[in-house]
Structure 1
């Protein structure tokens, strides 16, 4: 795969999304065909996450809305992102997670601007960034539904709702070129025939022992427990996420919609 993307050719059919390989291909052409060039993509992407989180939280904080100062919440959020164990790990690995998170945060910031002035440029930027996040890690496609809800709420009772139709059309057309590029490398049979899809069972979330074409695997924790660790394990995010989520939910109970 790397030999093909290094010369900017579409990779052979495989079921991973193309967003991260595209960034790595660019890094190869800038820094040479070495593992360090691929790792640099994750390092730079992860390094951008903390300032983007700081910007995001500061942009929605009451302190920012009422004054020009920086909120304590933005500082805490930025520092928490910067020292979070999981982000540090993802930033050092040749994996797509840090890059996908970076694109998703860019999309969030553009979406926030769009909700305030309804300018098409912010909606377009948000859509493109979300498309890149999805084409980097499939799971970020789950943000499409809440993005559409925000779009609907933004135009609810608007003075000129006809503009929403143009922006909605952009929602359908803008991601198409990226989707066509991805479809050229992703054959349906490749995805649907993959062992992770064919042999998948919801009960696997509670299992620890698995046998698949890659081998025999025994894990210390059930799959669901492993992926739930970021809620309370200090390695992933400190201070602990769970208490802060509860405090935040309580604080938002009277927040205006």
Structure 2
């Protein structure tokens, strides 16, 4: 018998993570029959959404895709993949959970912040949007320096939420979006920053932040006439 199969069986995987790792190892050595055994146990565990969401974080999206598409482990592979994805979506769509994560991101405890950031990063654009919305929180959370650093660490996932935030009617969200834009260079971001820079109703702090962000992402800031041409071209292009 295969020594890897024997070794894994001897470990007697029982937790979700153990069962998932065992299944992945069996897939790696082309023992789909053994992988199916562990996936069946995983599917029957009746895990809560948060546990499946954490499993998705632990194992990664590539593993879930593999479960969904590998012929030799069907139909149980697809069933487990759908259980994981459905649970993750329910967690991602839970506004209470998003608020908890953004509050945790402002914790004085570095470990708590890192856990929250990791989960928000897993949520992608939805996580970045949750951080931006938290800036409007008047309970004190919105004043946390950790929100700003957390948003910067969201990377490209923050691109679209930041562009939306630059247009926000909520002053704090607009300001923080303009500041964050300096870390997300793109032609679309430049166009988005020109609006508040030359807007008639833009506050001085937002104008100043827009200029600073533009200085970070472009060699030369367009003057008002050039900005008008760029904005007109962007409208025509859309």
TM-score (norm 2): 0.31
| Structure number with bigger Rg | 2
Q: Which protein has greater RCO, CA pairs closer than 8 Å, 6+ apart?
A: 1
Bigger fraction of residues in helix: 2
TM-score (norm 1): 0.29
